[in-house]
Amino acid sequence: MMMKRILITLIFGLNIVNVEAQQSKILEGTVTYKSSNSIYVRFSSTDNINIGDTLYFKTKSEEIPALIINHKSSISVVCAPISTMVININDKIFKKMSEEKVIQNQDSSIIKKNLVQLINTPDSITNVEIIPAKKSELSKTQVINGRISLSTNASFNPGENNNFQRMRAAFSLNVTNINNSPLSIQSYLTYRHRYGIDQVNSAFKEDFKTYTLAVNYNPGDKINLWVGRKINNNIANIGAIDGIQYEYKFKNLISGVFAGTRPDYIDYSFNLKLLQIGGYLSHQPNPDKGYLQTTLAFAEQRNDGNTDRRFLYFQHINNRIKHLNVFFSSELDMYQKIDQKITNKLELTSIYLSVRYRFQKNLSISASYDKRRNIIYYESFQTFIDQLLAQETRQGLRFQVTYSPFKFMSVNASQFLRYQGDGSKPTTNTLVNISFLRMPFKNSSASLSINTLATQYHKAVIFGGRITQNVFKGKAQVELNYRNVNYNYSNTETSQRQNIIGVNLNMNVLKYTSFIISYEGTYEKEINYQRYFITLIQRLKSKKK
């Protein structure tokens, strides 16, 4: 008799998790993150996975050796590619097993962390969404996942007065089905403080950030209730909601309402004056043929009792078309008050589109268009000039191509166009990165890159190289990197040259404990900068019964 249970998957982004156990001879994982040198794969457990194992990508007709494991933690592995095919985020990767019972992690979400924009939100924010399960199918089993990290970094600039040291602590804890009940909690908190500079205006609430802190009540497969601060996957780009979020599921439809406040736009603290209320309807058909979600929402946001915004929000996620992933969101404002004059005209104020298509195993292309705005209408002193400042938007186009001409080589090229406002000269950024596997040594990888940047104020060309070597049977990784930076400023003959050298050591001290230490030196003609980074990470996991 097979026991079914809920597992939590922690990734950098917004995720939808659906886990089940079944008879199989393979262990299934999901690609959660890609860097220039490595691919990260999340499993329900890595107890039966070892460093040096090969992971496979399954097609309709064959199983292709795709990755080799260089590092592992309790639920994740860091891999290097060994084939010409392109591996993308959310792709399924398999480890061949001899055991009869294998827990599969079926993550069909394509929501990426860069699709959610929060004021002052770090890239490392972790959001976990729990899909409710039928009582007849799943038992309420307590599962704990968490992480505590302590880090410090400092910069030393001889002869200058801007030396500093920064301390940072982060805590995340996600407990599903507390004491095997329908209650769950989710949290992500950070505290960071900088020493060595003027701290007169520094307050505790500016250093302490609450990115997620919520309690969930999920008695079955229809009702889902959240209380606290949390991002809602169905309305992701609206941002965090402080208050109550209630959902009711009926077949393929999810109806929801929310009421409370939104985070302070300056320090991200709780602000009772920024009230908001709204509702949404989301259509999510059976994911067997691929994930599909369409949401329409209405929201009204207030500032000290006065209406800031009244708008419609639309979101669509689709990966049902073979090799194609699409994310789209937009906002349509329905209310404005400028110089005490109220208008109810419809105005498209935000739009985001991301498309990725994989032509073949070793070639994929992606593009995105970003015209999202963080709009805040202050009724008490809003003028035409204030409106222009509030409407100033960051606009951007991005194109990216990834191609692997050989098993040991991968090329990634990106082009960015970004605007600061109407009529301004766009900022262009071109990046080309070439990665090599098992070069120059057996358990190593290397990469070369060139980055050109052109703005209204300066032009820059950056050349870089990186070598990574696994040591101590994969329990540690050493990295050496170098960059040559050349800046030329507009309307002047001033130029700046920098040579940047970095060394990084990443060690798995214990099963759930990691230690990272890095050094970076910037060398200019007349002055040098020295920096170091030290981080200790302790993961928290449920004890096995």
CA atoms of 508 and 491, how far apart (whole Å): 50
Residue 150 CB partners (closer than 8 Å, separation 6+): 168, 169, 535, 536
For the stretch 359-399, pLDDT in tens is 888 899 999 998 876 544 434 333 443 444 334 435 688 89
Q: Tokens in use for 366? A: 């992606």
**In this predicted structure, what is the pLDDT of residue 9?**
29
CA 101 vs. chain centroid, Å, equals 32
**In this predicted structure, what is the pLDDT of residue 389?**
37
CB contact at 8 A, 310 and 333: yes
| Residue written as token pair 């969101």 | 329
Reference 344, options 376, 307, 375, 314; nearest CA is 307
Element (H, E) at 390: helix 384-391
Q: Which amino acid is at 187?
A: S
Reference 479, options 510, 505, 499, 508; nearest CA is 505
CA atoms of 338 and 326, how far apart (whole Å): 36
CB contact at 8 A, 29 and 142: no
Residue 261 CB partners (closer than 8 Å, separation 6+): 242, 243, 270, 271, 272, 273, 274, 275, 276
pTM for the model? 0.67
**In this predicted structure, what is the pLDDT of residue 391?**
41
Q: Which residues of 206-217 are buried (b: 16+ CB within 10 A; e: fewer)?
A: bbbbbbbbbbbe
What stretches in the chain show pLDDT beneath 50? 1-25, 98-138, 375-393
In CATH, the number for domain 1-107 is: 2.40.30
Q: Which amino acid is at 375?
A: I
CA 59 vs. chain centroid, Å, equals 27
Element (H, E) at 536: strand 528-541
CA atoms of 392 and 422, how far apart (whole Å): 8
Identify the bridge partners of residue 515 per DSSP, sorted by sequence position.
507, 536
Element (H, E) at 207: helix 204-207
CB contact at 8 A, 9 and 174: no
CA atoms of 127 and 231, how far apart (whole Å): 8
Radius of gyration of the chain (CA): 24
Q: What is the DSSP letter of 83?
A: S
| Residue written as token pair 């001889």 | 158
Reference 118, options 257, 14, 216, 8; nearest CA is 14
Looking from the CA of 20 toward its CB, the CA atoms found within 13 Å total 11
CB contact at 8 A, 141 and 522: no
Q: What is the DSSP letter of 43?
A: -
Sheet holding 101-106, edge to edge: 101-106, 14-23, 127-130
Q: Tokens in use for 325? A: 């992933």
**In this predicted structure, what is the pLDDT of residue 75?**
75
CB contact at 8 A, 3 and 21: yes
CB contact at 8 A, 313 and 280: yes
CB contact at 8 A, 470 and 37: no
CB contact at 8 A, 406 and 429: no
Alpha helices in 7-131 (DSSP H): none
Q: How far apart are the first and last CA of the chain?
A: 17
For the stretch 97-143, pLDDT in tens is 533 222 222 222 222 222 232 222 333 223 333 333 333 334 578 88
**In this predicted structure, what is the pLDDT of residue 120?**
29
Strand pairing report for 14-23 and 127-130: parallel
Residue ranges of domains in the chain: 1-107, 120-320
CA atoms of 342 and 299, how far apart (whole Å): 18
**In this predicted structure, what is the pLDDT of residue 424?**
64
Map residue 253 onto helix, strand or coil.
Answer: strand
DSSP states along 431-479: EEEEEEES-SSTTEEEEEEEEEEE-SSEEEEEEEEEEEEEETTTTEEEE
CB contact at 8 A, 486 and 459: no
Q: What is the DSSP letter of 45?
A: -
